[in-house]
Copies of this chain bind each other. A is one copy, B any other.
Amino acid sequence: MTKQYHIEFSPIGRRGNIPDGHSLLESARLFGVDLTGDCGGFGVCGSCQVRLLAGDVSEITDNEDMLLSPDDLEEGYRLACMTYPGSDCKIGIPPESLDSPMRSQVESEDAAVDLNPAVYGLDIEIPTPSIDHPLADADNMLQALSSDTEAIPAIDLGVLHTLSDDLRAHEWRMRVSVHQQRNGIVAVRPPGAREVGLAVDLGSTGIAGYLVDLCDGETLAAQGMMNPQISYGEDIISRINYAFKTPGGAQTLRNAVIEGLNKLVGELCEDAGVHREDVVDVVIVGNTAMHHLLLELPLKQLALAPFVPAIGRSLDIKARDVGLHVAPGAYVHLPPNIAGFVGSDHIAMLTATAEQWQGKTAIALDIGTNTEISLISQEGTIVSVSCASGPAFEGYQIKDGTRAKAGAIERVLITPNDVSYETIDHAPPLGICGSGIVDAVAQLQLAGVISANGRIGENAHPSVRTAYGEREFLLVQAYDERRAITVTQDDVREIQLAKASIQTGMQLLLAELAIELADIEVLIIAGAFGSYIHVPNALAMGMFPSLPLDNILQVGNAAGAGARQALLSTVVRDQADDLMSRIRYIELARHPLFSRTFARNCRLRPYKQ
């Protein structure tokens, strides 16, 4: 029998055994790790760089000698396609070596708002100064503006740095961009330039960025990327720990995300055919920890009871103070955080879906590694919780899990003797994404292959087998060089825990406001994963309450939509501030009923009154 090595890919939590003679790139592909490999594995493009964290591998090849710097080689960097394990290995994957982001990361409905952006533009022309009228350049411009603005705005130092030369270059005509709430000039550009805004949904795993034309509300470009902080910890808690325990750790995390955002802005601008300097306003939403890491705010009080943010209310901060390279005087607007573990992304989701829940008894939730849930009463009382639902829904910590990309199994149907599945783009199967694993577990349950407590029955289905000492369900046979794709007992447990977490959050919220399950008029499911989930299957396992399907809305990345709306309308910003002041946060883990409810909810069965 061929020798086998156990390979673990970090930080994305994929591991398994491969036979001797497979390169790291092949191993990665067998495990569904989306390593870049532009040249097809010939060691000439250098795009599949990985880092050897533990174990022995083959000698450094000439190609690697040529493509990697001596420093990189010294630090263990290798080309995955040229490197063959010689023992069990732990392999680190730098974010830049990971392939395209998930398909769903940036998708969301374009919720229309009445245009009233915080930053608006004015085309003006000013008189040329002379010896007889030697008016200073900025004063000259502000005088010309005074007829168009209520109060004379302040001018940013960054704008002043180039104003005098620009005025002369454009013959005293210019486009002035004014932040109406801060009453400040954030950019002066050639006449006719348009105002562009950047909206960012800053997730722990993925970042979605949107460029929006502030003059007509159109989305000019959208793009997703991995959060580069993932190299320092997959989830928030491990990143906070990194920040605590590593000297300069908080700064490293901040620099990682800022560098990523600056790259994202560059790419979005290229897509949209605009300049960085055209980005005159920015809105960033994210969970509270991402917010604090971005601003390098203290984290200790966030990690210790009573888990309070450094700041909850919304902030306008100069982009340069955040480290973002856009228009010289642009602000970054950060909508309010509700609590330590319910951030501005949840607020943005709520403002984006307000039409759906206003005046109703509603539950709105954003599913991710943390799932934030709000229960809204008809009178507008709102209570929120955060549930640690884990990364299973994003395809992590699932043995054959993958992000939602071409080839990911997203639908599963299991009959007593058969299995069928669908993959994204109908590509050959390479793993199971979040919606696929929910489908698989629900179908296993409906087909009686697993019991309500999640145990895979030994002879419950022809596809049940035992591999490496663990019982699992075979979804896809091994073929060519690809391993079989299976759902393991551990995978089922992950989904049970995640489902229990969400269900418990909802139950405790309902108890808090003394609302009956039957009174829920609408359930809003937001988030990349939530928009692709097959709701009937999720209902079967009890992840959501069993409401009529018409009352369940899948709204996609509503946080991203809310961020864009906040770019386009100060009214939306005010709504967010208002929401923040009204929402009451409940600390779930400290709730006296939490443990008991959680344990009960691990059972797979519909969630009814």
Contact = CB atoms under 8 A, between A and B. Distances in A.
A271 B297 CA distance: 33
A137 B590 contact: no
Interface in A278-333: 295-298, 300-301, 305-313, 315-317, 320-321
A311 B138 contact: yes
Interface string A267-284: 000000000000000000
A162 B156 CA distance: 26
21 contacts: A129-B306, A131-B305, A131-B587, A134-B306, A134-B308, A135-B308, A136-B310, A136-B313, A137-B311, A138-B310, A138-B312, A139-B312, A140-B308, A142-B313, A154-B316, A160-B297, A160-B310, A161-B297, A161-B298, A162-B298, A164-B298
Contacts of A296: 161
Interface string A152-177: 00110100111111001000000000
A295 B163 contact: no
A89 interface: no
A298 to B, nearest CB: 4
A607 interface: no
Interface string A345-370: 00000000000000000000000000
Given A129-B306, A295-B157, A312-B139, A134 B164 contact: no
Chain copies in the assembled complex: 2
Contacts of A310: 136-138, 160, 163-164
Contacts of A306: 129-131, 133-134
A340 interface: yes
A437 interface: no
A387 interface: no
B312 A165 contact: no
A301 B142 contact: no
Contact of A168 (B130, B301, B305, B587): B301
Given A139-B311, A161-B298, A164-B298, 11 more contacts: A130-B306, A134-B340, A134-B587, A135-B312, A136-B310, A137-B310, A139-B312, A160-B297, A161-B296, A164-B310, A320-B321
Given A131-B306, A295-B157, A296-B161, A137 B313 contact: no
Nearest to A143: B313
B155 A311 contact: yes
A136 B312 contact: yes
A121 to B, nearest CB: 21
Nearest to A141: B311
A300 B164 contact: yes
A163 B157 CA distance: 27
Nearest to A128: B306
Interface string A37-80: 00000000000000000000000000000000000000000000
B157 A321 contact: yes
Given A139-B312, A142-B313, A301-B168, A307 B160 contact: no
A168 B308 CA distance: 12
Which 7 pairs between the two chains have the least Cβ-Cβ distance? A136-B312, A138-B311, A136-B309, A164-B298, A134-B306, A139-B312, A131-B306
Interface in A100-135: 129-131, 133-135
A340 B135 CA distance: 10
Contacts of A445: none
A328 to B, nearest CB: 11
A594 interface: no
A208 B340 CA distance: 48
Nearest to A321: B157
A246 to B, nearest CB: 18
A507 interface: no
A157 B316 CA distance: 9
Contacts of A340: 134
A585 interface: yes
Contact of A129 (B134, B162, B308): B308
